[in-house]
Amino acid sequence: MESTETRRWHRRGLLIALGAAVTAIALALGMGATAYAATLFSDDFEDGNATGWTASGGSWTVATDGSRVYRQSGTSSDARSIAGTTSWSNYSVQATVKPTAFNGSNRFVALLARVQSNTSYYYLALRSNNTVELKRLTGGSSTTLDTASVSVSVGTTYTLRLDVNGSNLQGYVNGTLLAEGTDSQYATGRIGVATFNASANFDNVLVSSGGVDPTPTNPTPTNPTPTPTTPTPTPPTNPGPNVADGWASVNAWGQNGTTGGAGGPTVTVTSASQFITEAASAGPKIIQVNGMIALPGPMHEVSSDKTIVGVGANSGFTGGGLNIGLPIDNAVTAPPANAVHNVILRNLNFRDWADDAVNVQMFSHHVWVDHNTWTTGVDGGVDVKRGSSYVTISYNHADGTDKNMLLGHDDDNAAQDVGRLKVSYHHNFFDNTNQRNPRIRFGDQVHVYSNYYLNTGNYGVAATEDSGVIVEGNYFEGVDDPYHLGEASSGDGRLVARNNCFVNSGAGQTGGSVTDPPYAYTIGTACDTKATVLAQAGVGKVGVPGGPTNPPTTPPATTPPPTTPPATTPPPTSGPQTGLIGWATQNGGTTGGAGGQTVTVTDGQALADALESSSPLTIRVQGSLSLPDTMNDVRSNKTVLGVGTNATLDNGLNVSSATNVIIRNLTFRGWDDDAINVQGSRNVWIDHNTFDGGYDGAVDVKRESDFVTVSWNRVTNHTKSMLLGHDDGHTADVGHLRVTYHHNWFDGSRERHPRVRFGDPVHVFNNYYFGADYGVASTMGAGVLVEGNYFENVTRPTAVGYAESDPGDLVERNNVFVNSGAPESAGDVAAVPYPYTADAANSVKSVVTAGAGAGRINP
């Protein structure tokens, strides 16, 4: 080992200035069993951006070197950029690499595999001393597994390839095996590129499953070449990247697969008049939508053989929607020769539409609606009806839509719909949508798989009017009614459910049998679906179809499983720690109402009265209670304890000038001020609660409060999570605000996890952060120890200083960063005085998601 590498690599305080939509990109794949190699990821940077990559150190840009390349131009330190997903196991990663400068002797450029973090991975390094080395980096210290001689020159392009299969590792230079070894330290992980005191251009990155030889250079996805039409559907091969899968891939009705505008000209539109003209024009065409276009509304026609694709992450339509289909004619009961067909809609935002965002009607067929985002409008997000068929709706983000996806016009439309409405819905994010995800009439072999349902208000999937629906491999979270038969006045359909994952959700209703669809597909582990979908679904995750793009791809094909439902995939399980640790153990400890009476309350006024009692009490809260005030005072020596899994409060608790208070196992929903406010109080333990969307803070601690532990809570559907310290002018907080935050799940909350003023030392350990703008901020001279946390899709995991507040000290150690920016740190932080045992950071995600929130303990 060499001294220049065995030191811990310094992570410079570089903020990767990515928006939340970009940092959410992981290109994660729920990998199932595969019979052959498939492309997991490719990027040749011809789209002009590095979407999907997370850089740390150095100076990374997409530049021109003949073609577009990913350039690292700094030579003063180490630098790396990472892409892909942590679940990748056996694969081959390849890239072309051109060193452009070495700052000293024995410097290198490298290709990374099975990346755990910025300081732990395998790598294949081309060194300036004319060697290639296969190495393992663990916590910043390297171990050489093999080495060989090779000529290394500045300005020369090399093809590096690193294969990882089980414990076997092989490194290739220009197609020749030069380094190999065995090591079992890392079983899965992402890919990356790196330099050490060197600059370089990286290009043509390709990841293939199974360790099968990748294509040598310039892997560009292509659309399939049409083959002679067959009169009945036939199972195609796995379509691969940038090609429609599911029902849209099946050859039928005179159309082979769905290729959109492939083969036609490419035009770019920036105005409504341009778009309306091009979308309705005859012949194949790729229409690039640049920017948000205000359509005059309500619906605008799209003709056959069109690809309509948004440029970047901020293009699409407001005010109006797209109609794919002929005018309505109830007398037409079979597919007409002029039915609209072969249409692709990708990477588009839809907002405030006046009718539907997308309507597919009148026997339209071979339509692919993929990687779009829609918010709210007058009617449906994507409706498919009146005999339309061979449609795939994939990787979309439906954000808060009420009537989301209708399949089938009405109960009286059997003449057009029976035997048709064959649609695949997969890898969509139904994000607080209310209903119709989808609602199905008549369609048979409707396939709903690998979607993520979050807090669906009314129901998920409804099978009605003798439709046949397969619901498999989905992740239902906070969904009381995942799927059922019949809906409103519509009769029952048939529904088969298998291998779904349920988290805080009800049981679905099934009945009847359904034949499997004829195409090949893969179902990953259902309880991994959430992470996969969150990383991939929605706008901004793909480039322009027909060009060099890098869309997330459906895994390789496997034989569809039998219709007999196997055992349901259980959600992750892990026994949560339930004992008090942290700052609330100090200053005499925190026991709440121990030693006093125990009372049970079932209405809000009774709870408010008990909270204000001067005596020690254990107050058991049963059911959903409406509190009398926006903030309800809690006096000293109280334990407030939810009974079971459904104890819910609609407003907040104010722990003011109190001592010795415990609040556990409650759900706070829709509060009008704070859910819990702690001010001027000592020895408070807030544990195993769920905070599900409200006006202001979830848990705010301020005004000289001290000796507080906030543990095993979940914050979801909320923005401002946990404030510590009132404001920059409240210097009376100096010497107070000693708080421990551990094993909390910050589930899509945007900020304040916590935002710290003055408190020192504050201890933040073993929390799971997902999808935040920032994680922990240390300001106004605070001292914050951040250790053993798991940051996923967090733009700024740790921040020194925030907004107008001056910086504090922050020490970060042993954290895991997945698709996140670089952490910031500064200064020193005093040791905490209490004993604790931190979980390994790489286990925190599974431990916390299994144990955090209300309903996970039985006190």
Half-sphere exposure of 832 (CA within 13 A, CB side): 28
Does residue 540 register a pLDDT over 50? yes
Q: Retrieve residue 133's tokens.
A: 């080395």
Mean pLDDT of 776-789: 95
State the pLDDT at residue 733. 94
pLDDT (tens digit per residue) in 170-185: 999 988 888 988 899 9
Does residue 13 register a pLDDT over 80? no
Q: What is the model's pTM?
A: 0.45
pLDDT (tens digit per residue) in 347-401: 999 998 889 999 999 999 999 999 999 987 888 899 999 999 999 999 999 988 8
Strand ordering across the sheet containing 120-127:
54-56, 78-83, 190-196, 108-117, 120-127, 131-138, 141-149
Q: Which of 752, 757, 796, 856 is catalytic?
A: 752
Q: Retrieve residue 124's tokens.
A: 């294949």
State how far the Cα of 243 lies from the Cα of 53, in Å rounded to an integer.
Answer: 23
Contacts of 583 (CB under 8 A, 6+ apart): 706, 707, 708, 709, 738, 739, 740, 763, 832, 834
Long-range pairs for 267-271: beta carbons < 8 A, 24 or more residues apart? 268/311, 269/293
Longest dimension (CA), the chain: 84
pLDDT (tens digit per residue) in 724-755: 998 899 999 999 999 999 999 999 888 899 99
User: 635 catalytic, yes or no?
Assistant: no
State the pLDDT at residue 713. 95
Mean pLDDT of 187-209: 92
Quickly state the pLDDT bin for 541 (edges 50, 70, 90). Answer: confident
pLDDT (tens digit per residue) in 565-585: 333 333 333 334 458 999 999
CB 442, CB 409: distance < 8 Å: no
Return the residue matching tokens 């310290």. Answer: 725
State the pLDDT at residue 210. 56
State how far the Cα of 677 lies from the Cα of 276, in Å rounded to an integer.
Answer: 53
Helix (H, G, I), strand (E, B) or coil at 344: strand
Mean pLDDT score of the chain: 85
Does residue 22 register a pLDDT over 70? no
State the pLDDT at residue 237. 31
Residue at 701: amino acid letter: V
State the pLDDT at residue 4. 28
Does residue 442 register a pLDDT over 70? yes
Q: Retrieve residue 278's tokens.
A: 């091009």
pLDDT (tens digit per residue) in 658-670: 999 999 999 999 8
Taking CA atoms, 81 is separated from 143, 511, 770, in Å, by 21, 49, 20
User: In the chain, pLDDT over 90 holds for what percent of residues?
Assistant: 66
State the pLDDT at residue 751. 86
Quickly state the pLDDT bin for 37 (edges 50, 70, 90). Answer: very low
Does residue 229 register a pLDDT over 90? no
Bridge partners (DSSP) listed for residue 101: 199
State the pLDDT at residue 578. 54
State the pLDDT at residue 635. 97
pLDDT, greater one: 485 or 644: 485
CB 342, CB 545: distance < 8 Å: no
Handedness of CA 743, 747, 749, 751 (dihedral sign): positive
State the pLDDT at residue 634. 97
Bridge partners (DSSP) listed for residue 800: 778
Please list the alpha-helical segments (H only) found in 546-623: 604-611
CB 817, CB 768: distance < 8 Å: no
Does residue 27 register a pLDDT over 50? no
pLDDT, greater one: 5 or 711: 711
Contacts of 387 (CB under 8 A, 6+ apart): 332, 333, 334, 335, 362, 363, 416, 417, 420, 421
Q: Retrieve residue 746's tokens.
A: 């910050």
Q: Retrieve residue 824's tokens.
A: 């910031």
β strands within 352-482, DSSP E: 358-360, 365-370, 373-374, 382-384, 389-394, 397-399, 406-407, 423-426, 429-431, 439-441, 444-449, 452-454, 461-464, 468-472, 475-477
Quickly state the pLDDT bin for 769 (edges 50, 70, 90). Answer: very high
